[in-house]
Amino acid sequence: MSGNILTTAACGLLLTSLYFATRWFDRRNRSSLPPPPGPKGWPLIGNMFDLPTKDEYRVYSQWHETYGDICSVTVLGQRIVIINSPDVAFKLLNKQIYAGRPHYNMCCDLVGWSHALVMLPYGERFKGYRAMLKNAFGSRASVEKYKETMETETHHCLARLLNQEGSTNFTGPIRRSIGAILLGITHGYEVQSEHDSLVRIADQATDQLGVLLTPGSFMVDTISALRFIPTWFPGPFADFKRLARDWRSDLYGLTEQSYAFVKKQVSAGTASPSFVQELIEGKDLTEQEELDIKWVASSIYLGGADMPVSALSSLMLAMVMFPEMQKKAQAEIDAVVGHDRLPLFSDRDDLPYVESMLREIIRFGPPVPLGAPHCVTEDDVYEGMLIPKDSIVVANLWHFLQDPNVYPNPEVFDPERFIAREGKPAQPDPYDFCFGFGRRICPGVHLTDAQMYIFTASILSVFNIEKVVENGVVQEPKHEFTSGVLIRPKPFKAVLKPRSAKAEALIRMFGDTA
C-alpha cells in the first residue's frame, strides 16, 4: 500500500511540475500586450489570496472603482477576467470566440456536468441541444402551449401557501410548484410532494453546480494531476474524489431516472404529452440521440429551476420592504382581473406595472450575479489589453444592475423605473443581459419569464405579504443575499395573509393543498 501511495505522489509531483513549466513557456510566447489590470499577485500562486471567498459579486464591484470596466487576476497561471460594464460585456461576449465554457476538472469530468447544456463545449452537439430547445421554448408564443400547466400548478401553490397560513416557509411550496411545472413539461412527471425524490435530487444537483463553478473551490481545477489521486487515498487529500462520486450520483440519478420514467410510460402507452415524449415516441433512435435527449431534457430543469425560485424569493423580500409597491401592483391587478377569478396569461398585456415588476425583481436581486463563466477560445485584444486564450471570463451582472449611475437608488425596489414617461426615459431593461450573452444566452428565457409572471400576478392578487411581529417587535428584513454563483435572499421572515374572505374562498376553489 505504501508503495502505491509513494508512486501516486511522485507522479502527481512530476505532472504538477510539467503543468507549471508548460504554463511558463506558453506565457513567454504570448503577445507582449498587458492583460486587463488587477491586484498585484505573487510568483507562481498569482492572486490566490485576493479571490474573495464570499460576496464575490460585491468584491468585484468594488474592484471597478480601482481598475475600471474590465480587470483580471491569475490563480496558479489561470487568468480570470471580470467585466464590470454591460457595454464591454456585449462587445466581448457576443463574439463566437467567447462561446466556450471553462473546463473545470471537478465539474465537467469528475462529476459529469460536461453533458449538461450549461457546461457543454461549444460545437455541433451544443447546436443540436439549442435547436431542440428553440423548437420547444424559443419564443413567448411557443411557451403558450404550456400555459395551462403553469396556471394550474400556480393555483395549487396558492392553496398550499394558504394551508400553511402563519408560516414563514413560502419557499417550499414555490419550489415544489416550479419543479412540478418543469418536470411536467419535460417528462410528463407528476410531483408527489414537496419532498418528491426527483425534485430533491434536482435541487441538490443545482446547488452543487453553484459550488462547482465558484473559482478556487477545488484545487484539482487548477492542478489537473490531482485527479489521478485514487478515491481510497487516506486522509483529506481525496475528499474531493469522494465528493465527486456522490455528486455524480445525484446528477446522473436525475437524468437517468427521469428519462427511464418516460420510456416506461411510452412503452405502456400511458405517457403524458411532454418534451421527451414528443422526441422519442415512435422513433428509432441511436444511442447518441438518446443520450442527447435525456441530457437536454435534464438541462431544462437544472438550468431553469433555481432562477424563478430565487426571483420569487426576492419578490417576497421586496414586498415586505416596500409595501407601497405591493399596493400599486394589487390595484392594477384588481382593476384588470377583478375579484372573481385569478390572473391568467391573457391578462398580461393589460398589466404594465406587474410587467415592470418582473424586471425590477431581477434587478433588485440577480439570481445569478456573475452569470455562467465563459472561456475565450483564442487570444483576443480589447483596447490594447490581451485576453489570453483559455481565460475564464465572467460578467458581473450584480454590478450592472446595482450601479447607481445607471439605476439611481439601486437599493430601492421601484418598478416604475422601467416605465417611460415624458421627459423621463425608462432605465435599461435587465432582460437585455441578465439571461446571458451571445451564443450562450439562456434558451429558457421565455419559460422562466412566463413562470415569474404567473406566480407574481397570482400571489399578489390574493395575498398580502407582510412583516412578521415577534413579541411586539417588527422583524425588519434587509437587502442582503447569499454568496456563490447562484444566490437568493438571506433568510428573512415574512407572512402571507389572504387579502379578504373572498380571496380565501377563491384560493380554496383550487383545493390541492397536499
pLDDT tens sequence for the chain (514 residues): 444 444 444 444 444 444 444 444 444 445 689 999 999 999 988 998 898 988 999 999 999 999 999 999 998 888 999 999 999 999 999 999 999 999 999 999 999 999 999 999 999 999 999 999 998 998 888 898 899 999 999 999 999 999 876 566 788 899 889 999 999 999 999 887 767 888 888 888 888 988 898 877 888 988 888 989 998 888 788 999 999 999 999 999 999 999 999 999 999 999 999 999 999 999 999 999 999 999 999 999 888 888 999 999 999 999 999 999 999 999 999 999 999 999 999 999 999 999 999 999 999 999 999 999 999 999 999 999 999 999 999 999 999 999 999 999 999 999 999 999 998 999 999 999 999 999 999 999 999 999 999 999 999 999 999 999 888 899 999 999 998 888 999 999 999 999 999 999 999 987 554 5
At CA 333, angle to CA 328 and CA 335, rounded to 5? 95
User: What are the grid coordinates assigned to 62, written together?
Assistant: 468594488
pTM of the predicted model as reported, rounded to 2 decimal places: 0.90
Q: 80 φ, ψ to 5°?
A: -120, 125
Cα distance between the two ends of the chain: 55
CA distance 496 to 167: 8
Crossing angle of helices 445-462 and 352-364, rounded to 10°? 110
Q: Is 408 helix (H, G, I), strand (E, B) or coil?
A: coil
CA dist 48 and 169 (Å) reads: 39
Phi, psi of 379 (to 5 degrees): -55, 140
Assign 3-class secondary structure to 479-499: CCECCCCCCCECCCCEEEEEC
pLDDT confidence of residue 166: 56
Residues sharing a CB contact under 8 Å with residue 165, sequence separation 6 or more, in sequence order: 496, 497, 498
Residue with the three cell numbers 416604475: 416
Residues found in the chain: 514
Q: Is 430:89 a contact under the CB 8 Å cutoff? A: no
| C-alpha triplet 60, 61, 66: angle, nearest 5° | 85
pLDDT at residue 132 in the model? 94
C-alpha distance from residue 486 to each of 59, 206, 211, 398, 440 (Å) = 16, 9, 9, 12, 17
pLDDT at 30: 54
d(CA 295, CA 177): 22
C-alpha separations of 103 from 145, 281, 448, 504 in Å: 36, 34, 27, 51
From the candidate CATH numbers 1.10.630.10, 3.40.190.10, 3.30.1310.10, 1.10.10.10, the one assigned to the domain spanning 31-258+291-508 = 1.10.630.10
d(CA 222, CA 71): 20
Q: What is the crossing angle of helices 352-364 and 323-337, to 10°?
A: 150
Please report the DSSP string for 3-32 in residue order. HHHHHHHHHHHHHHHHHHHHHHHHHHTS-S
For 494, list phi and psi in degrees, rounded to 5.
-150, 155
pLDDT of amino acid 170: 85
Residue 11 contacts residue 3 (beta carbons within 8 Å): no
Query: What grid cell was written down for 156?
Result: 395549487
Q: What is the residue type of 104?
A: Y
Residue 16 has a pLDDT of 47
> Locate cell 445607471: which residue?
406
Nearest Cα neighbor of 445 from 304, 345, 276, 299 is 304
Using alpha carbons, select from 150, 212, 135 the residue that is nearest to residue 181. Answer: 150
Of 58, 294, 101, the residue nearest 213 (C-alpha): 101
Query: Grid coordinates 487570444 are at which residue?
Result: 379
Tell me how crowded residue 404 is: count the other CB atoms within 10 A of its CB. Answer: 9
Other beta carbons less than 10 A from residue 232's beta carbon: 10
Residue 236, pLDDT score: 83
User: Which amino acid does the sequence have at 347?
Assistant: D
Q: What pLDDT, on the 0 to 100 scale, is given for residue 384?
A: 95
User: Residue ranges per domain, the chain?
Assistant: 31-258+291-508
Bridge-partner residues for 80, per DSSP? 73, 392
Long-range CB pairs of 267-275, under 8 A, 24+ apart, other chains included: 271/188, 272/184, 272/188, 273/188, 274/184, 274/185, 274/186, 274/187, 274/188, 274/189, 275/136, 275/185, 275/186, 275/187, 275/300
DSSP H/E element including 360:
helix 352-364
Q: How far apart are CA 305 and CA 201, in angstroms?
A: 12
Contact 201, 181 (CB under 8 A): no
- 410: three-class secondary structure by DSSP: coil
In this prediction, residue 72 carries a pLDDT of 97
